[in-house]
């Protein structure tokens, strides 16, 4: 429980950081606003078309009597929209980070700079950074899609599907949101996706404490856009502490980093 609270505190620290640095807050809003317009249109389209999609996918139920036909298709329509919303929450961060790579890279560097210590830079050209971010985002999206399909299927289980499954879904959402956000700072520190996942798994409750409240907040319209700059700042603060050497090793000579930039 302590790690959950500590994870949440990084989210608050990030919002406080952008509140103290108003120029960076406005700078970080731009990518989110662009992505929001695209996603809003997609979700509105899904809302209008989900019932037609379900009717097309369930022709075997055309001859069912009332109320079974309506019950089946209404349930499936709700599940389809919920799945779309789930994927939107997960992919919104990845797409926004991809669109806003130069914005958030600069914001993350500024957080490192104001907090003191090393300000790592990848040293890669922008096109290469965009390629790596896109590639890693696709890999994460594949993982998320597998979870989403599994949770969608489990949603049909009575009681469990309406109670336990949504909780697991929010945990999955929060975990991968945290991964996408910390990637901005961790990539600059030379950590590839596999290394980042190992690092986050070692502090799972801390990561959930940061990501789950953010995932819940992202369900509120427009909130994601305004929280993104602070979320990137908070994730940078979290990443700094995740890779910091233990306190009792401060006087020891620094050891080489086990991670190196891998652009393959």
What are the boundaries of each domain within the chain?
Answer: 2-30+86-243
- Is pTM beyond 0.75 here? no
pLDDT in tens, 117-130: 777 776 667 677 77
List C-alpha distances in Å: 136 to 57, 94, 141, 209, 242: 32, 9, 9, 23, 20
What is the pLDDT at residue 245?
63
pLDDT band at 5 (very low <50, low <70, confident <90, very high): confident
Angle 43-46-50 from CA coordinates, rounded to 5°: 150
pLDDT in tens, 153-178: 887 787 777 788 888 888 888 898 89
């Amino acid at each position: 429980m302590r790690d959950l609270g500590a994870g949440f505190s990084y989210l608050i620290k990030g919002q406080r950081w952008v509140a103290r640095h108003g120029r960076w807050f406005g700078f970080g809003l731009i990518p989110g606003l662009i992505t929001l317009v695209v996603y809003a249109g997609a979700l509105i389209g899904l809302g209008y078309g989900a019932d037609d999609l379900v009717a097309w996918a369930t022709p075997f139920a055309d001859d069912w009597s009332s109320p079974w036909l309506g019950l089946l298709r209404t349930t499936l329509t709700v599940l389809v929209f919920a799945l779309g919303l789930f994927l939107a929450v997960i992919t919104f961060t990845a797409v926004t980070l991809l669109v806003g790579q130069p914005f958030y890279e600069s914001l993350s560097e500024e957080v490192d700079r104001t907090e003191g210590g090393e300000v790592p830079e990848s040293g890669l050209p922008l096109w290469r950074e965009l390629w790596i971010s896109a590639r890693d985002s696709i890999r994460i999206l594949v993982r998320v899609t597998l979870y989403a399909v599994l949770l969608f299927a489990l949603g049909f289980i009575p009681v469990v599907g309406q109670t336990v499954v949504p909780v697991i879904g929010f945990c999955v959402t929060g975990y991968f949101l945290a991964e996408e956000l910390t990637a901005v700072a961790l990539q600059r520190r030379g950590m590839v996706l596999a290394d980042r996942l190992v690092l986050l798994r070692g502090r799972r409750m801390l990561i959930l404490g940061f990501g789950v409240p953010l995932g819940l907040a992202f369900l509120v319209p427009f909130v994601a856009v305004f929280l993104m700059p602070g979320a990137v700042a908070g994730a940078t603060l979290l990443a700094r502490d995740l890779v910091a050497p233990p306190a009792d090793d401060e006087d020891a000579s620094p050891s080489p980093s086990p991670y190196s930039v891998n652009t393959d």
